[in-house]
Amino acid sequence: MERSPRPLGRPRKEQDGKSTKDIILKIATGMFLEKGYPLVSMDDVAQKCDVTKATVYYYYKTKADLFTDAMVQLMIRIRQRIVDNLSTNASLETQLFQIAKAHLQATVDIDINSFMKEAKTSLTEDQLQLMKEAEDNMYGALEQAIKKAMDKGEIPQSNPRLGAFMFVSILTAGNKIDITYKDTFSSLDDLVTQIMNLFWNGLANDS
């Protein structure tokens, strides 16, 4: 019997031990973060990945689909790093310091608000919902850690969900100044320390 030909554009399953889809997703994520949504095309992604455009379209029907999966998977990885940091025996304050430092190091050249605003107008409601769910899961990991610290008496009782949102919000504010921290702070640690002081004093002050 003759073998049926593969569908046009169907890629090899693996390249150097990684699936073609994973390679496309990893490279596309970096491109979106570096250039922003509007300036990245499917052609650009294909060229950077050294595959045909048909291969990219085999996995993702539209650029919006690719962007959505890239951001969802990125938030899943961030959540896992958050969980890993929160799983140590250190105090919550120390854990949050490490999370804040890692966040600022990873997003030093990215204006998160502008970056997401550029893309949202091109996404469907279902795509936005997928991203919202991934974002909520990130908040959930922080919320659980804050609630645990409250139950242990490490910090006063308050709304742990609000505490998680406040922490992420203050990190977003830090994004606006961290690229120039050398001019106003002695080091990245100094910047993170001052950010944490603003957050922690408000969270843990019982007066």
pLDDT at 130 over 90: yes
Predicted pLDDT at 5:
42
Residue 174 in contact with residue 195, Cβ under 8 Å? yes
How far apart, in whole angstroms, are the C-alpha atoms of residue 69 and residue 127? Answer: 9
pLDDT at 29 over 50: yes
- Report H helices in 38-186: 42-49, 53-59, 63-86, 92-106, 112-120, 125-151, 160-175, 181-184
How far apart, in whole angstroms, are the C-alpha atoms of residue 126 and residue 12? Answer: 29
- Which of 2-11, 92-101, 114-123, 197-206 is the least confident region? 2-11
Mean pLDDT of 71-84: 90
Please report, for the chain, the start and end positions of each structural domain, with discontinuous segments joined by +: 1-61, 64-204
Using 50, 70 and 90 to split pLDDT, how confident is the model at 13? low
Predicted pLDDT at 117:
80
Any idea which architecture 64-204 has in CATH? Orthogonal Bundle (1.10)
Listed residue (11, 23, 82) closest to 52, CA to CA: 11
Predicted pLDDT at 109:
61
Using 50, 70 and 90 to split pLDDT, how confident is the model at 3? very low
Tokens coding 88: 């140590």
Q: What proportion of the chain, given as a percentage, has pLDDT over 90?
A: 50
Residue 95: CB atoms within 10 Å? 20
Q: What proportion of the chain, given as a percentage, has pLDDT over 70?
A: 81
pTM comes to: 0.77
The 10s digit of each residue's pLDDT in 93-119 is: 999 999 999 888 877 666 666 677 888
CATH superfamily of 1-61: Homeodomain-like (1.10.10.60)
How far apart, in whole angstroms, are the C-alpha atoms of residue 161 and residue 115? Answer: 25
Q: Which of 61-65, 76-80, 97-101 has the highest mean pLDDT?
A: 61-65
Identify residue 45 by its one-letter amino acid code. V
DSSP state of 179: G
For residues 135, 38, 61 and 58, what is the CA-based torsion angle, rounded to 10 degrees?
A: -100
